[in-house]
């Protein structure tokens, strides 16, 4: 793996160059790479381990499921996802991982599915849940008050983005429709802070139609309001909540660029902050908090399916 060795060396060089800025903005390290280069994955953390699920390897969308153990910096395969899907949305809730929607592969953004799966790490088994009312993929998925929200995405009908907002209740295994997004989009980032859902960026149609919109959902009133726009409009970005901040990382900017940007919305200041950028721009990956750090695994360093990577990068802030 000469290519990988070179990439790691480049990462190392960049990392040392950032040390001066690392105090306030955090810093990046790399961990053992995923055992294959894969993109359009979803990432979730549960029971002290990171799970990377679905996505595409060598251009094939498969039911990939690998688990990273930070204790020994190693990967292992786990029970495959019940279906071969990419662009899945996922979240952890009560010790289980929920996977929502996804495209079937065999092309770009094909045939968004209404599937919902639940993974139990204790038994390494999957359960098929009640489906959403219609297929969609690249959907924003978060957990709030014991329920799973699935927001926006892309429909299989003419491949258009949707504003749909449904919520899944694990207690009743059923879905309910809630207030739709103010504007239909997908490839966005979503997170929950202080009882509210934050939904940032994304695209309205083609990947060039990117936005910096920030929408905030209040479950008490079932309404959306607008927040300050993300400084760098982008789509195909990763999002997670870390140390009281809604972090949005990466994204794609065809025809040649990907975003290294790492920006965070601070709800207390009602403002965005710039954090240490990723070692290189990427998209088609997702982020999850494991221990005291934010992990991203796999993805593409170039737009579309360009330069698929196996990198595992880790962000830590004091």
Residues binding other proteins (CB under 8 A)? 1-2, 4-5, 33, 35-38, 57-60, 62-66, 77, 80, 310
Nearer to other proteins, 54 or 153 (CB): 54
DSSP state letters, 77-134? E-PPPSS--BS-EEEEETTEEEEE--B--SSTT------EEEEETTTTEEEEPPPPSS
Q: How far is the CB of 63 from other proteins (least distance, A)?
A: 6
Nearer to other proteins, 9 or 271 (CB): 9
Do residues 98 and 91 make contact, with C-beta atoms less than 8 angstroms apart? yes
Q: Which of 87, 105, 136, 71 is nearest to 252 (CA)?
A: 87
Q: Which of 87, 100, 106 is nearest to 186 (CA)?
A: 87
Q: How far is the CB of 305 from other proteins (least distance, A)?
A: 10
Q: How far is the CB of 279 from other proteins (least distance, A)?
A: 18
Do residues 111 and 147 make contact, with C-beta atoms less than 8 angstroms apart? no
Alpha-helix residue ranges (DSSP H) falling in the chain? 2-17, 22-25
Q: How far is the CB of 119 from other proteins (least distance, A)?
A: 15
Nearer to other proteins, 294 or 308 (CB): 308
Q: How far is the CB of 65 from other proteins (least distance, A)?
A: 8
Do residues 248 and 264 make contact, with C-beta atoms less than 8 angstroms apart? yes
Nearer to other proteins, 3 or 226 (CB): 3
Nearer to other proteins, 75 or 295 (CB): 75
């Amino acid at each position: 793996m000469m290519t990988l060795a070179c990439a790691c060396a480049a990462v190392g060089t960049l990392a040392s160059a950032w040390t001066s800025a690392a105090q306030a903005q955090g810093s990046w390290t790399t961990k053992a790479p995923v055992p294959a280069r894969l993109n359009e994955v979803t990432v979730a953390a549960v029971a002290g381990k990171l799970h990377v699920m679905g996505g595409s390897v060598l251009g094939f969308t498969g039911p990939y499921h690998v688990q990273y153990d930070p204790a020994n910096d190693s990967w292992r395969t786990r029970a495959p996802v019940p279906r071969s899907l990419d662009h899945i949305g996922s979240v952890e809730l009560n010790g289980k991982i929920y996977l929502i929607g996804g495209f079937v592969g065999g092309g770009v953004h094909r045939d968004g599915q209404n599937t919902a799966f639940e993974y139990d790490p204790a038994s390494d088994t999957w359960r098929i849940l009640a489906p959403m009312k219609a297929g969609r993929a690249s959907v924003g998925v978060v957990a709030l008050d014991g329920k799973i929200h699935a927001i926006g995405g892309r429909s299989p009908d003419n491949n258009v983005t949707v504003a749909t907002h449904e919520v899944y209740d694990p207690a009743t295994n059923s879905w309910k429709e809630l207030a739709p997004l103010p504007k239909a989009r997908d490839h966005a980032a979503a997170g929950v802070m202080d009882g509210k859902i934050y939904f940032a960026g994304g695209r309205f149609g083609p990947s060039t139609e990117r936005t910096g919109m920030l929408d905030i959902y209040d479950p008490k009133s079932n309404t959306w309001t607008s927040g300050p726009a993300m400084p760098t409009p982008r789509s195909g970005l990763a999002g997670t909540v870390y140390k009281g901040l809604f972090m949005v990382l990466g994204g794609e900017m065809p025809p040649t660029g990907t975003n290294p940007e790492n920006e965070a919305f601070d709800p207390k200041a009602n403002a965005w902050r710039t954090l240490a950028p990723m070692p290189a721009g990427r998209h088609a990956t997702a982020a999850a908090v494991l221990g005291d750090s934010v992990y991203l695994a796999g993805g593409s360093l170039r737009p579309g399916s360009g330069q698929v990577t196996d990198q595992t990068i880790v962000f830590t802030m004091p």
